[in-house]
Chains A and B, each alone.
Chain A
Amino acid sequence: MVSKKMTVKNEQGMHMRPASLLSQMAAGFDSSVKINFNGNAYDCKSVMFLMSACIKCGSEIELQCEGADEEDALAQISQFIEDGMGD
């Protein structure tokens, strides 16, 4: 299992569009992809759970991947989040 801490930068946080892009990206990996935030773990492959996390601009989150392609998943997804998730 690998993980990385980061800060969400896009202005509107994890709203519909970033959540849907992120979930599509996470679904492309065999590994499980989770975000730990506020003491809860959210499955990144589900746009519904991602939105329910209420992650806002400036939120500190931990991205956690586990599985065969965990290194790739962590690298690509963390890059995507740090780049502002397409916003």
Chain B
Amino acid sequence: MKNGIAASRGIGIGSICRIIEHDLSFDAKMVTDTAAEKARFHKAIDEFVKDTNAKAEDIRRLIGEKEAEILLGHAVMISDPAMSGEMDKMIDSGQCAESALTAVCDMFIGMFSQLDDDMMRQRVSDIADVKVSILKILLGIEDVDISKVAPGTVLVCKDLTPSMTSQIVKENVTGIITEVGGKTSHSAILARALEIPAVLSVPGIVDEVKDKDTAIVDGTEGIVFINPEGDVLSKYMLKREEYIKRQAELDKFIGKETVNADGTKLELFCNIGTPKDAKKAIECDGEGIGLFRSEFLFMDNTHLPTEEEQFEAYKEAVETMGGKTVIIRTLDIGGDKDIPYLGLEKEENPFLGYRAVRYCLGNIDVYKTQLRAIVRASAFGKVKIMVPLVTTVSEVRSVKELVSEIKVELRAEGKAFDNDIEVGCMIETASASLIADLLAKEADFFSIGTNDLTQYTMSVDRGNSKVAYLYSTFQPSVLRSIQHIIKCGKEAGIPVGMCGEAAADPLMIPLLMSFGLDEYSVNPVLVLTARCIISKWSKEEADALTAKVMALNSEEEILAVLKEAVKE
């Protein structure tokens, strides 16, 4: 078994075909019959131009005009007087074709890589591609034709280049393993687009395998098996069947409403960390943003972000969501994070210290800048403000007063905003849970943050391995806390959401449904999974299970009962 980067989900099982990088070294000899050498050279160029035009035609048909033009450009480049013309002159002076080709191409590669223009610098890889392709023809090296590999092939290569990927036939390639590349590399993006399971960055894999070896590519876990022994193969064949079945089942939920088995509609939102993630939320079929963490603006920065900088970022996310709800959490930060320009002091107990809303209300200028940016972004869609780490009613009141002040200012400045913008609070401390009835009278909505709620309720530092066993959202105390928060929200007539990891947990969903949770906010990739699980539970079934669970004394018993009842 080998580990790599899980770059494209799914399980692929097949026979290996290695794509080997050839040794392109040659003897730079002098030639006497320059006419014959030039003829050999031009025969190679003609063959290259013919190949390239044929490939470009394939790509035009399969992918598009723009992609085809890049390849056609290769043929234009080599035919240029400054390219083949110069190479001819060098051959005339007695150099061999390989030397002439390499010298002129390398000269242009050097020249283009120094240009102050991104688009032109990209031509460097084109010139290098041209050089390698013609060298292969001159040296008589034949490439594997990827477009002709047999069905059930697992490609193993150093790196997947664009010209290689353009030849992949999706039906024939069941998996991809490479030695280099990360989750966002070109190879990874293409593998995901083609929906081929891929594991990248497996060191030394090309030299360790032979053609026709059997390979298992687990692109979900980032694991590769070569010639698996014992029952590994049969296990994975079963796993593969299950994955395909499950994917097909989840695909049925694309574009569907989120409803439970009774047909009651629930909201399924996404948690995101940057404006760009909003696109992902849309792609994954999220119905809104239940948690937009604003920390990225402050963490990846050298200065306090200005109102305009923040406004642009919030506006981008809001516009991407096109009228769907975007709940922006205000700055959630404290002494455990080093943000030099904020001048936060290191604290003995940062999680119990000067952080989140406590810091913000102590630094009104910083907070007001952020709130102004958020309120202004509300002119472009449906924005809600969420206050983290609330422990007292007065904190919520203070934030609401600030928002009212800001509205007056913005109106005077003639700036647009949504006058009905809601202010809600995260319920993630023991105090907030206990006074949820009081908070519900001030807040427009609740969102339960299960990670912190569990930590504060159980009084456990989950980073401390000696006590980490206590950290569980399924502890009777944490479940009671969640139940109480939702009940208080319901009684006051405000919506209650959850933006912690628990909202997508198949064991937790029936309990949340029974408690009456309105909005589930999950990682974008879990939207369909959560929608599928929700669809399987009726309120009556969820209530029966919850009654059983809430009567139990320990986390162990609760988990045992839930695992028995789970519907995946």
Contact = CB atoms under 8 A, between A and B. Distances in A.
A51 B123 CA distance: 9
B119 A47 contact: no
B116 A54 contact: yes
29 contacts: A13-B119, A15-B119, A16-B69, A16-B70, A16-B73, A16-B76, A17-B69, A20-B73, A23-B76, A23-B80, A27-B81, A45-B81, A46-B80, A46-B81, A46-B82, A47-B76, A47-B77, A47-B80, A48-B77, A48-B83, A48-B108, A49-B82, A51-B112, A51-B120, A52-B108, A52-B111, A52-B115, A54-B115, A54-B120
Interface string A52-71: 10101000000000000000
A31 to B, nearest CB: 15
A15 B66 CA distance: 13
Interface of A: 12-13, 15-17, 20, 23, 27, 43, 45-49, 51-52, 54, 56
A68 B76 CA distance: 27
Given A23-B76, A48-B80, A48-B82, 7 more contacts: A12-B119, A16-B76, A43-B81, A46-B81, A52-B112, A52-B115, A54-B116
Query: Which range contains the number of B residues in contact with the other chain?
Result: 10 to 19
Contacts of B115: 52, 54
B117 interface: yes
Which 10 residue pairs are nearest across A and B when measured between Cβ atoms?
A46-B82, A54-B117, A20-B76, A48-B82, A16-B73, A47-B80, A48-B80, A46-B80, A46-B81, A54-B115
Contacts of B81: 27, 43, 45-46
B120 A43 contact: no
Interface of B is mostly: helix
Nearest to B117: A54
A46 B111 CA distance: 15
Contacts of B116: 54
Nearest to B107: A48
Nearest to A52: B111
A23 B73 CA distance: 12
A37 to B, nearest CB: 13
A48 B73 CA distance: 11
A18 to B, nearest CB: 11
A16 B123 contact: yes
A4 B298 CA distance: 52
Contacts of A46: 80-82
Contacts of B108: 48, 52
Contacts of B80: 23, 46-48
Contacts of A20: 73, 76
A47 B73 CA distance: 10
A67 B181 CA distance: 53
Contacts of B76: 16, 20, 23, 47
B2 to A, nearest CB: 40
Contacts of A15: 119-120
Nearest to A12: B119
A17 to B, nearest CB: 6
Contacts of B83: 48
A47 B120 CA distance: 12
A11 B278 CA distance: 29
A17 B108 CA distance: 18
Interface in B513-530: none
Interface string B96-129: 0000000000001001100111011001000000
Specify which of A23, A46, A47, A48 lies most central, judged by the most chain B CB atoms within 10 Å of its CB: A48
Given A51-B120, A52-B120, A54-B116, A43 B82 contact: yes
